Amino acid sequence: MGVSTMATTDQKPDAKAYWSATKRLTVSLLIIWFTVSYGAGILFRDQLDNFSIGGAPLGFWFAQNGAIYVFVALIFYYCRAMTKLEKKFGVKR
């Protein structure tokens, strides 16, 4: 496994734009994760408990299972989005 390096072609990638896009992606996914885990599991639990999934109140389900499922989905999304960003900015692995 090597360390990530920028591509050395005639056109040098814009490192600041790449880093900015990476931070924007990371922060947006962390906001989604926080909203689902803290918001749905704690803040909005009483409102969500009016609905149920598999016989369990929805707020409880999010606190126990839903946040984990969303977190795993965000990991897969992050991997795909970073691959696209690396291709866009010419970052080689």
CA angle 81, 15, 72 (to 5 degrees): 25
pTM of the model: 0.74
Task: Report the mean per-residue pLDDT for the chain.
Answer: 85
Give the C-alpha separation, 71 to 37, whole Å.
9
81 Cα distance to chain centroid: 9
Q: Is residue 1 part of a domain?
A: no
Q: Is residue 5 part of a domain?
A: no
Predicted confidence at residue 31, as pLDDT, reads 95
Q: Which range among 5-9, 64-68, 79-83 shows the weakest confidence by mean pLDDT?
A: 5-9
Mean pLDDT highest for which of 39-43, 53-57, 82-86? 82-86
Q: Is residue 79 part of a domain?
A: yes
Q: Is residue 34 part of a domain?
A: yes
Residues in Cβ contact with 10 at an 8 Å cutoff, skipping those fewer than 6 apart: none
The number of folded domains in the chain is 1
Which domain does 69 fall in, by range? 14-92
Q: Is residue 2 part of a domain?
A: no
Q: Is residue 3 part of a domain?
A: no
